[in-house]
Every structure is written in structure tokens, then in C-alpha cells.
Structure 1
Amino acid sequence: MCVNPNFIINHPVVKSPLINAIELKKSGVQRQLFANQLKDRQFGDDEAMIFDENYCKAL
């Protein structure tokens, strides 16, 4: 648990497609990561993100 502001570094990309990284700001890369997490969610991963097409379009 983080109480104060913290910098999280070396966060695994597979765990969160929404981290602030240059390559993840490309809509094609982000779309693929969302699709991968959607598959994980279908196999029971409750922490996987849902597919957010509006987010991809906003990029």
C-alpha cells in the first residue's frame, strides 16, 4: 500500500497496459495489450483490464 506519493519504476507492462510509457501511447500497441488482457480476463484473471476502445481512439 502506498501512503505518500511514490514513483513506481520497472513496473511489468503485462500487468498494466495503462502505464505512462512512450511505446504504450501508440493506439495499435495499446489495442493489442487490451486484447491480451481481455483474453486473460476470460480465463479468470479478475485484475485484467477490460477492452477500452474509447481510450485507444483518444490516443
Structure 2
Amino acid sequence: MIRRLTAVVAGALVAGVLAAGAASAAPAPTDNATGLTPKEQVGLHFANELVGTLLGQAPLDSGR
């Protein structure tokens, strides 16, 4: 029973350390208002137009 508990606690500790490392290695946020990179903005705009076309709706105003 103690071995299982130790394994669970050790696993949680390793997961926490790995998550903290990934969070600290994440890129800095961009300066734009949406927080998206230009490539992500273009993809979102394309997806908006595609879904709007498939559903027969007018595309949402993207502020352009």
C-alpha cells in the first residue's frame, strides 16, 4: 500500500516538474489584442469564412 502511494506521489511530482518546465519554456505573449500570432489570426479568419460558407451565414466581422 505504501509503495503504491509512493509511486502516485512520485508520479504527481514528476508531472508537476515537467509542467512547470513546459510553462517556463512557453513563448512570450504577443503584443496584439487577441494574443494570437499572425499565422493563427489568418487561420482563424479562414476557418470563420469556411464555416460561414458551409452554414450559409455571413462571415463574422473580423475588424479588418
Superposition TM-score, scaled by structure 1 size: 0.37
The structure showing larger relative contact order (alpha-carbon pairs under 8 Å, at least 6 residues apart) is: 1
Larger Rg: 2
State the TM-score, normalized to the length of structure 2: 0.34
